């Protein structure tokens, strides 16, 4: 699996300026607009991701020495639904608009990653590192964020309805969503189904998207 991850890192680097270096090292590589993130990955990149996503058993059980490392890669618009990415590395990766619904991201390293507009519905991101990540307008409905590190994360416009940000009950200590502040969630959306950390008070009982708020008033 490390060979496949290496292929993605070389052929879909992020930020885009790394691609110029890759072109010099690999003149046969396909050139693209380096100033804009790709709406969807190139066909070969998505094919590799599909192979990785179909792995249902943790790599440690299959003889892998390391977890998946897709750090600093351009995976904008990637389809990773129901993938097993437990403890994988996506440090400063671009996952803008990616489909990550019902994906296992438990313990994954997403620090500094761009998840703007990503579909993360029902994903298991328990104990994941999301510090300094961009979660603007991401759909986190029903996601498990128990014990996730969220300090400095941008939650502007993120949908947190049904998300679980409490601490996992099977730990002796009271693990909670670390670093979460009222200022962070002030621009997010939530309702009575959102589960907050113990002792955390959101700015209001609920905050719905404008269209739904208008419908409720009608």
Helix segments in 147-196, DSSP class H: 182-185
d(C-alpha 26, C-alpha 6), whole Å: 14
**Phi and psi at residue 111, in whole multiples of 5°?**
-65, 130
180 pLDDT higher than 70 = yes
Question: What is the number of domains present in the chain?
Answer: 1
Cis peptide before 40 (omega within 30 of 0): no
The alpha carbon of 147 is separated from its chain's Cα centroid by a whole number of angstroms, namely: 15
Q: What CATH number does the domain containing 189 carry?
A: 2.160.20
d(C-alpha 190, C-alpha 205), whole Å: 8
What torsion, rounded to 10 degrees, do the Cα atoms 205, 210, 212, 215 define? 110
Question: Where are the strands (E) in 71-203, listed by range?
Answer: none
Positive or negative, the CA dihedral 12, 17, 18, 21 is positive
SS3 at position 80:
coil
d(C-alpha 142, C-alpha 193), whole Å: 9
pLDDT digits (tens, 9 = 90+) for 141-174: 999 999 899 989 999 999 999 999 987 544 434 4
pLDDT digits (tens, 9 = 90+) for 69-112: 999 999 999 999 999 999 999 999 999 999 999 999 999 999 99
Residue 52: in which H helix or E strand, if any?
A: helix 43-53
Question: Where are the strands (E) in 82-184, listed by range?
Answer: none
The alpha carbon of 151 is separated from its chain's Cα centroid by a whole number of angstroms, namely: 15
Integer angstrom CA distances of residue 211 from 188, 205, 214, 215, 216: 14, 18, 5, 6, 9
Residue 211 lies in domain: 1-218
Positive or negative, the CA dihedral 12, 13, 19, 23 is negative
Return the higher-pLDDT residue of 18 and 197: 197
pLDDT digits (tens, 9 = 90+) for 10-50: 899 998 765 554 544 444 444 444 444 457 888 999 999 99
Cβ atoms of 157 and 187 closer than 8 Å: yes
| C-beta atoms surrounding 210 within 10 Å | 8
The alpha carbon of 56 is separated from its chain's Cα centroid by a whole number of angstroms, namely: 19
């Amino acid at each position: 699996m490390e060979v496949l991850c290496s292929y993605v890192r070389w052929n879909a680097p992020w930020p885009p300026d790394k691609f110029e270096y890759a072109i010099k090292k690999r003149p046969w590589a396909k050139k693209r607009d380096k100033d804009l993130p790709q709406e969807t990955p190139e066909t070969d990149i998505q094919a590799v991701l599909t192979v990785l996503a179909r792995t249902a058993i943790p790599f440690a059980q299959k003889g892998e020495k390391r977890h998946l490392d897709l750090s600093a890669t351009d995976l904008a618009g990637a389809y990773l639904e129901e993938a097993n990415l437990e403890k994988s590395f996506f440090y400063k990766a671009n996952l803008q608009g990616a489909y990550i619904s019902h994906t296992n991201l438990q313990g994954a390293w997403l620090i500094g990653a761009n998840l703007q507009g990503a579909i993360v519905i029902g994903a298991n991101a328990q104990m994941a590192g999301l510090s300094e990540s961009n979660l603007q307008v991401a759909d986190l409905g029903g996601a498990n964020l128990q014990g996730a590190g969220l300090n400095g994360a941008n939650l502007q416009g993120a949908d947190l309805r049904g998300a679980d940000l409490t601490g996992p009950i099977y730990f002796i200590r009271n693990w909670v969503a670390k670093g979460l502040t009222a200022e962070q969630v002030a621009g997010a959306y939530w309702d009575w189904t959102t589960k907050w950390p113990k002792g955390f008070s959101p700015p209001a009982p609920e905050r719905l998207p404008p269209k739904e708020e208008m419908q409720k008033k009608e």
